[in-house]
Amino acid sequence: MARILVTGGTGYIGSHTVVELMQQGYDVVIVDNLSNSDQAVLDGITAIVGTCPEFVHADCTDMSAMDALFARYNDIAGVIHFAASKAVNESVEQPLKYYRNNVMSLVTVLEAMKKHGVHNVVFSSSCTVYGQPTAQHLPVDETAPLQKATSPYGNTKQINEDIIRDEAHANSALHATILRYFNPIGAHPSALIGELPNGVPQNLLPFVTQTAIGLRAELKVFGNDYHTPDGSCIRDYIYVVDLAKAHVKAVERMLSDKPEEQVEVFNLGTGTGLSVLEIVNTFMHVTGVNVPYQIVGRREGDIEQVWAKADKANEVLGWRADTPIEQVLMSAWKWEQKIRGVEG
């Protein structure tokens, strides 16, 4: 079966995608510089799938390394480009690191693809490109106006989407699928791979699971005075395994020459918004574990509410994120227990 190059494939979303690709029979090569992941993730993938994917330890901004990779694996049919730095706060403090890594890695991968005659790329974008949609654009669909990014990280996603469109305009052979993820959460049901946050988690779910297991004294809920039913912010939390499966659908579509447009854009979300308090309460309910929390002030720059209209992905990709939130939250809890050596 076709060979797919997965950049950032030992990372959180990448590793789950590699599993789904391999389970569908694809040959996978991972390239990762291990800047935000561990090579031991390969053991988890191998334990789930039964075989180890090919792994190249290299940096996607390194043209000679990428050139050598494409020369060595000369049958790559498509690329899924996850490799990027993703910490929003860090991007505010170190913007150049983000522009260098996230923009240069995409440019380098596209150049190497062109040189080696590889014409299909799937790119990891984010709902952050929509900012706070107006009420008339909620749930938000792919045609909603993009808004000026509130962080250098978010800006790299907008710039990278533009780079892809410009290159596709100039190079008619290129086909690209831009996937705008909403809020990926949870872990593989096997608890053999999952999210491994660095230091104090900035994202909600890892903070909830670390508080539940006693690593953090309490969760701070950032604001209960928003214009939402319970006053806390609303997001579209999507199960990482459902998200991974969408990548397989996107690859299938590209390889079967179905795309109607050279650049296709899909929202990947559930279509349902949940509040911070709904997530915390549901987590406590399904796990039976208490999560001490305190309502504090709003977090600067937070979006009040955003969730996806995912009809295009549902219809065109034939994909739906339908894992119940209870199951998703249990998977996150099982993973947290596993990595802390606690019997579930």
302 binds, among ligand WQD, ligand NAD, none (CB under 5 to 8 A by kind): ligand WQD
The number of beta carbons lying within 10 Å of the beta carbon of residue 316 is 16
The answer to whether 234 touches 306, Cβ cutoff 8 Å, is: yes
Contact flag: residue 220 with ligand WQD (CB under 6 A): yes
Contact flag: residue 61 with ligand NAD (CB under 6 A): yes
CA atoms within 13 A on the CB side of 285: 10
Stretch that binds ligand WQD, among 76-84, 131-139, 186-194, 213-221 (CB under 6 A): 213-221
**Best CA proximity match to 10, nearest among 178, 275, 259, 193:** 193
**Which one of 86, 235, 247, 334 is in contact with ligand NAD (CB under 6 A)?**
86
Contact flag: residue 99 with ligand WQD (CB under 6 A): no
Q: CA 81, CA 59: separation in Å to the nearest integer? A: 12
Q: CA 171, CA 70: separation in Å to the nearest integer? A: 19
153 has catalytic annotation: yes
**Which one of 68, 222, 282, 314 is in contact with ligand WQD (CB under 6 A)?**
222
Contacts of 143 (CB under 8 A, 6+ apart): none
The least CB distance from residue 136 to ligand NAD, in Å, is 24
235 binds, among ligand WQD, ligand NAD, none (CB under 5 to 8 A by kind): ligand WQD
The answer to whether 181 touches 236, Cβ cutoff 8 Å, is: no
88 binds, among ligand WQD, ligand NAD, none (CB under 5 to 8 A by kind): ligand WQD
The answer to whether 182 touches 308, Cβ cutoff 8 Å, is: yes
Contact flag: residue 204 with ligand WQD (CB under 6 A): yes
The least CB distance from residue 133 to ligand NAD, in Å, is 16
**Best CA proximity match to 133, nearest among 320, 269, 279, 323:** 269
**Which one of 128, 155, 177, 331 is in contact with ligand WQD (CB under 6 A)?**
128
Stretch that binds ligand NAD, among 8-16, 114-122, 319-327, 336-344 (CB under 6 A): 8-16
Site string for ligand WQD, 247-276 (x = CB under 6 A): -----------------------------x
Stretch that binds ligand WQD, among 46-54, 95-103, 105-113, 214-222 (CB under 6 A): 214-222
**Long-range contacts: 311-314, Cβ < 8 Å, 24+?**
311/141, 311/271, 312/141, 312/142, 312/266, 312/267, 313/246, 313/266, 313/267, 313/268, 314/271
Question: Is the torsion defined by CA of 323, 326, 328, 334 positive or negative?
Answer: negative
Site for ligand WQD, residues 182 to 201, rule: CB under 6 A: 183
Q: How many residues bind ligand NAD (CB under 6 A)?
A: 28
Q: CA 168, CA 162: separation in Å to the nearest integer? A: 10
Contact flag: residue 299 with ligand WQD (CB under 6 A): yes
Nearest to ligand WQD of 52, 163 (CB atom): 163
Contact flag: residue 209 with ligand NAD (CB under 6 A): no
The least CB distance from residue 306 to ligand WQD, in Å, is 7
The answer to whether 32 touches 65, Cβ cutoff 8 Å, is: no
C-alpha angle 158-318-326 in degrees, rounded to nearest 5: 80
Q: CA 114, CA 104: separation in Å to the nearest integer? A: 15
Q: Residues 26, 98, 130, 153: which is the catalytic one?
A: 153
Phi, psi of 339 (to 5 degrees): -75, -20
> Could you list the residues that contact ligand NAD (CB under 6 A)?
7-8, 10-14, 31-37, 59-61, 82-86, 101, 105, 124, 126, 181, 184
> Could you list the residues that contact ligand WQD (CB under 6 A)?
86, 88, 126, 128, 154, 183, 202-204, 207, 219-222, 233, 235, 276, 299, 302
